[in-house]
Amino acid sequence: MKNEPFTKLVGKEFSPLIVRRYSQPILTFVGIITDDNLSGLDSVVNNFFSEKEVKNDIQEIRNLAGGLTERLKEHYKKAEGIGVLISFDKGFCSSLLGDMMCHQMCRDEFYYLVNIATKV
């Protein structure tokens, strides 16, 4: 047996980045790269927000963004990258995980898609 790199070609699903916009209770963009089924993404995000009180406070918004990122990580076990962007009074808060944090191309694609979404 040779010591060659192993690359999995069979059984790997396509993992395109998706970006979803949520308007309530606060403008939030969620980006995720995963092989998991995302049919329940809206439920995960809406349930998270139903458990939280959104306050007009910078640290509370930071906690909210980080908490949502962690909730998505817990729910979507195959997530390769997660990005949460929250827009609040005169500010934005971003929480990135995995590929979104480590790979500039993934991060650029996430912010590019958010930029397109805000222009549509």
Residue 57 is part of a domain; what is its CATH number? 3.30.1130.10
Question: For the CA atoms of 41, 42, 43, 44, what is the dihedral angle to 10 degrees?
Answer: 50
Instruction: Map tokens 């970006």 to a residue.
Output: 19
Counting residues of the chain whose pLDDT is more than 90, the rounded percentage is 78
Asked whether residue 113 is assigned to any structural domain, the reply reads yes
Asked whether residue 85 is assigned to any structural domain, the reply reads yes
How many of the other CB atoms lie within 10 Å of CB of 117? 12
Q: CA 116 to CA 103: how far, in whole Å?
A: 20
Asked whether residue 9 is assigned to any structural domain, the reply reads no
- The sign of the CA dihedral 98, 103, 106, 112 is positive
DSSP-based three-state secondary structure for 1: coil
Report the domain count for the chain: 1
Asked whether residue 73 is assigned to any structural domain, the reply reads yes
pLDDT for the residue 114: 94
Asked whether residue 7 is assigned to any structural domain, the reply reads no
Asked whether residue 69 is assigned to any structural domain, the reply reads yes
What average pLDDT does the structure give for the chain?
90
Closest to 65 measured CA to CA, from 49, 81, 84: 84
Asked whether residue 11 is assigned to any structural domain, the reply reads no
Q: CA 82 to CA 9: how far, in whole Å?
A: 23
Backbone φ and ψ of 83, nearest 5°: -135, 135
Closest to 69 measured CA to CA, from 90, 111, 100: 100
- Whether the pLDDT of residue 77 is over 80: the answer is yes
Asked whether residue 97 is assigned to any structural domain, the reply reads yes
Condensed to tens digits (0 to 9), the pLDDT of residues 94-103 reads 999 999 999 8
What is the extent of the structural domain holding 115?
A: 19-119
